[in-house]
Structure 1
Amino acid sequence: MTFKYTIETDSDKVDFQQVADVLHSAGLASNTDVKQTEKSFRNSDITVYIKDRNKVIGVGRALTDFVSQGAIYNVAVNADYQGQHIGHTIITTLLEKMKGINIILYTHPQTLTLYEKYGFRRSKTAFAYFGHGTPESLQWMEDEGFFLPEKYRFDSEKGRY
């Protein structure tokens, strides 16, 4: 299968309104704040943008020290382009650029099986702190299944901690 879209890694060659729109349409941004989107991507160590001619149709980014640790964020594909290996291309490009290091990934509970296909495993020891979250957004995240119940312990932990 030939990939018919362009893989862009240079943030100077994308329209950040389009990037914000992709994130918003995928539910990864509560609004289309272009300045915040641009700042987060420009401050990232690795960026991947998939373009259909001049239109951004998929995005992803990573933070890394390029030695031992990395983290993937904001993998999103425009709904009209899903099912065309765009998400796969974003993920594999990010993984290749961070080859040989530990990588964490924060994702929506509905995409867990997708990332297992790439070798990601769920962790029992990860924590998340959302200092910028509103009570409404944090409630939405709890309702969607992002969090385990407060003070939750796996059976193997009970009585140990």
Structure 2
Amino acid sequence: MTFKYTIETDPNKIDYKQAAKILEKVGLISEPNENKQEQAFKNSDVTVFIKDEQRIIGLGRALSDGVSQAAIYNIAVDPDYQKQHVGHTIILYLLEQLKGLNIILYTHPQTLTLYEKYGFRRNKTAFAHFQAGTAEDLQWMEEEGFFLPEGFRFNDEKGRY
């Protein structure tokens, strides 16, 4: 299959109104604030946008120290373009740019098996401390299954802490 879309990696050549709409459409942000998204992408070390002519149809970004650690964020594909290798192209591009680094990825519980196909493994010792969202955002994340129950311990941890 030939990939028929354009890959753009320069965050200065992007319409952030479109980028924010995609992030909102797939549920990664609750309101499409294009200024915040522009700031987030321009402050990232690696960005990738997939375009169908002038329309942004997918995007992703990563932060990195360039030495040993990196984190991938905001992988999103417009639902109208899913199952066309757009997400696959985004992931492969980011992984190539971050080659040789330890990479963490924060994702929706429904996409866990997707990332396992790219060599990601679930981490038993990760924590998240969310300060930017509203109480409603945190409640949604709880209901969607982003968090283990408060006080949860794996069997091999019980009695140790």
Which of the five TM-score ranges fits, normalised by the shorter chain? over 0.9
1:50 aligned partner: 50
TM-score (norm 1): 0.98
Q: AA paired with 1:112?
A: L
Equivalenced residues, count:
161
Q: AA paired with 1:18?
A: Q
1:21 aligned partner: 21
- Could you tell me how far apart the structure 1 residues matched to 2:157 and 2:4 are? 49
1:124 aligned partner: 124
Aligned counterparts, 1:63-78, within 5 A? 63-78=63-78
- Could you tell me how far apart the structure 2 residues matched to 1:57 and 1:133 are? 25
1:101 aligned partner: 101
2:85 aligned partner: 85
Segments of 4+ in structure 1 off by > 3 A? none
TM-score (norm 2): 0.98
- Could you tell me how far apart the structure 2 residues matched to 1:7 and 1:56 are? 10
Deviation, 1:67, is 1.1
- Could you tell me how far apart the structure 1 residues matched to 2:102 and 2:39 are? 25
1:33 aligned partner: 33
- Could you tell me how far apart the structure 2 residues matched to 1:49 and 1:145 are? 28
- Could you tell me how far apart the structure 2 residues matched to 1:154 and 1:133 are? 27
1:58-115 deviation digits (Å, cap 9, x = unpaired): 0000000111000000000011100000000000000000001100000000000000
2:134 aligned partner: 134
Q: AA paired with 1:87?
A: G
Deviation, 1:14, is 1.2
